[in-house]
Amino acid sequence: MQNREGQKVPSVVFRTRENGDWKDIHSDDIFKGRTVVLFALPGAFTPTCSSTHLPRYNELAPVFRENGVDEIVCLSVNDAFVMEAWKEDQEAENVTLIPDGNGEFTEGMGMLVDKSDLGFGRRSWRYSMLVRDGVIEKMFIEPDLPGDPFEVSDADTMLEYINPRARKPRPVSLITKPGCPFCARAKALLREHGMPYEEIVLGHDASIRSLRAITGKETVPQVFIDGEHIGGSEELEAWFAGHDQRAA
């Protein structure tokens, strides 16, 4: 694995799929005159890539944009159909998924590795990089260890490099059920305060039994912020009021 800081990214054409049609994208279209964060991984639908690497970049994408990043690109040596299906499965609307089907870009980066022991063939090593106007400013390359190390190419490490003082969104989840007016109020409050949230819907994502086991309650909504159980919509309103007073 080669650190290429100070060098230009490889010049290649990516064969991608968009809305069911083929679309060729040149590397200049992505990098020229722009600030781009690219992270590369061994394969779509694989555990670490799906559970952590891609979701966290997608979650922090608005913060990256606030700090001067024009686009976040996820690259893998997979074909266009696989990457298109993975994007849909992951609901990663804030990240551009690019298939490096022939491994040309990855080989040009010196990151093409043999994963034949896993039946993968030749794939990308896991890394991330900050690219300004086609020139690599910073690379975070995973250590050369057996398996699939994931220690430095994560979104938080890259954001820390770009701006150590960047404000990250608090993780927010709420348990709701369809047609609940109090749930609608809680969601409106979160939107008013600019707090993205994950919604867990009873009957679809969880059951009443799960609600009782997690919260000790049988009513919805139940809101969690940064690991803290806030409660329902009234408790959430009081929580925001307290934070607003402290901010003032």
Among all residues, which ones are annotated catalytic?
Answer: 49
DSSP-assigned beta bridge partners for residue 74? 39, 97
User: Distance between CA atoms of 146 and 117, rounded to whole angstroms?
Assistant: 11
The pair phi, psi for residue 87, each rounded to 5°, is -60, -45
- Written as six digits, the tokens of 147 are 């398996």
Expressed in percent and rounded to 5, the helix, strand and coil fractions of the chain are 35, 25, 40
Q: Kindly report the length of the chain.
A: 248
Which one, of 42, 228, 230, lies nearest residue 220 by Cα?
A: 230
Cα–Cα dist 240/247, whole Å: 10
Peptide bond into 10 cis (omega under 30): no
List the alpha helices (DSSP H) in the chain.
Answer: 27-31, 47-48, 54-66, 80-90, 104-108, 155-162, 181-192, 208-215, 233-247
